[in-house]
Structure 1
């Protein structure tokens, strides 16, 4: 399965890249009512690890992701090392546009585990649209706070 969320923000690519490299940002980009507990968030570098527990009702789902393909300005990827999916690869790309704008492109490729073992992944997958709508909105708000002299608008598109 594939999922994509794309937004254009009125901030330069350097600001967008620096913003995403801050290890505190992942918690900020998690919706406030989302039942996620982060055990470990390493700074964004090749091979860095993030470990978290996502609560699906009363059932905890452990997830360990590793950052790969880390590039200073153009983005990074994360892959699931352990978690609810058979396969998970999330590619975060930043594209420099005209007039100091940046396109933020999130692409996810995933496969469910078979049978009942795949149920947690299916439930998480159903919430991706809301999660990434929130993340792109929150990114715009936080960039405006960190870089007040840059632009402020965002345009949403989902491809």
Structure 2
């Protein structure tokens, strides 16, 4: 499931997915920043530029290079602001392409032993009215594409599809 909404000038994207792996395995995979490149489309030119030899922890700063549009690379800096092991972690943009970026990663163990995963991304586009136009014609489509790619990749990796 992929859902967008707008409120107070902020856009929210929510995704949900059930993974056929135990909660601990899901947490181990998703709390390791180096795995993010594996579930990001190659066309994004995503590259972590900081050392990330530890699982996500509160206060962790991660730097990236990313290409939101062809032939244009930009720096992106996020901070892991909250972590509750096997439950959730939150990353927030400190510098980058968005005016604001707040990404919540939620995990829940299901009765069948699988893991329910939910992402909630709240973001604000810079450039006022022009930013809203960019959201309508480009940014929303790009984010949808990124999270659809992620969904399909995770289905193949963990659900045998």
Consecutive unaligned residues of structure 1, counting only runs of 5 or more, are 144-151, 155-159
d(CA) in 1 for partners of 2:96, 2:130: 10
The answer to whether the 8 Å contact 1:65/1:81 transfers is yes
When the two structures are superposed, what TM-score results if normalisation uses the length of structure 1? 0.79
Q: Which residue of 2 aligns with 1:139?
A: 154
Deviations 1:5-61 (A, max 9, x none): 101112111111011122321111111232223212523111112211222223222
d(CA) in 1 for partners of 2:105, 2:59: 15
Greater relative contact order (Cα 8 A, min sep 6): structure 1 or 2? 1
d(CA) in 2 for partners of 1:130, 1:79: 21
Q: CA RMSD in A?
A: 2.3
Q: Which residue of 2 aligns with 1:157?
A: none
Pairs aligned (count): 145
d(CA) in 1 for partners of 2:81, 2:151: 21
Consecutive unaligned residues of structure 2, counting only runs of 5 or more, are 1-10
Which of 62, 65, 69 in structure 2 is aligned with 1:50?
A: 62
Which of 68, 81, 102 in structure 2 is aligned with 1:68?
A: 81
d(CA) in 1 for partners of 2:59, 2:93: 12
Q: Which residue of 1 aligns with 2:16?
A: 6
When the two structures are superposed, what TM-score results if normalisation uses the length of structure 2? 0.78
